[in-house]
Amino acid sequence: MTATDVQAPAGPSRMRRGAQQAGKSVRLLPAVGLFLLLLVGWEVYVQVSGINSLLLPPPSAVAESLWTDWQIYEPELLVTLREAVFGFLLATVVGIGLAIIITSTKVMRLAVYPLVIASQAVPIIAIAPLLILWFGFGETSKVLAAALVAFFPIVVGAAAGLDSLDSGAVSLMRSFPASRSQVFLKARLPNALPQIFSGLRVGAVLAVIGAIVGEFVGADQGLGLLLARANSMLQPVTVFACIVLLALLGMVLFLCVVVVEWLVLPWRRGGQR
């Protein structure tokens, strides 16, 4: 067997990888195309209809504001980013911890799960003023608001994943015998990871919403404060610019979770579409 014979399969392998990358790029085209179509339609409608710019500014004006006034938006964006990220991380720790407690015994499920559900019956807009009263106008209250909004889907996803392991697999491991911690670390947790990440993806976006609600209620900095001030001063271009930044922030956090999932769960890469 020659060196040429050994290296021959590399060509088809590279071709397959190239085809997979091309396929992923093609799958992005509908979303990008729809986004561009909406932008063009928005711009044309504003220019043709002559609608008052106080009601609906054109996207070109929003883009110009983001470009020329970036020094105004950047520090506020960074504040909201910190609040959302730390809130999401706190929600992740608390959410997965509660899920472990809930799935540990039937007694804990009956005791804790109803409280978790009841916590979501109270809107964050009602809790945010209390957080500001207790923790002040700084970032701490916004981090807690973000965590309160984000933790519920994480709890639900993690609990469902931890409960999804087949009882036969548990019995088989204990027959070796395996300790309870070994069953959890070797079987239940790896089996639950896909559903945990499903909850994390939702929680990442909700963390941005929680941070913004907290800033709306009371803050001394952040995109939510900038948006509220622009709205009260009839500055729709700034309002739409803040909305664009918030949408991008949510998408970035979502994609960060997707990347971590891609790294942690390599066996799911081939099945992703």
List the chain domain ranges: 1-51, 57-268
Which stretches of the chain drop beneath a pLDDT of 70?
A: 1-26, 28, 167-175, 178, 268-273
- Domain 57-268, classified CATH 1.10.760.10, yes or no: no
Chain centroid offset of residue 164 CA: 23
pLDDT score at 8: 47
pLDDT score at 89: 97
CA angle 181, 203, 138 (to 5 degrees): 110
150, 93 in Cβ contact below 8 A? no
CA distance 168 to 136: 51
pLDDT score at 13: 54
**Interval 19-56: pLDDT, tens:** 555 555 567 678 788 888 888 888 898 888 888 878 88
pLDDT score at 22: 52
Does the CA dihedral 86-91-94-97 come out positive or negative? Answer: negative
pLDDT score at 94: 95
Residue in the structure block whose two tokens are 């519920």: 152
**Interval 205-220: pLDDT, tens:** 999 999 999 999 988 8
Q: Enumerate residues 6+ apart whose C-beta is below 8 A from 134.
A: 141
pLDDT score at 272: 53
58, 47 in Cβ contact below 8 A? yes
CA distance 66 to 62: 6
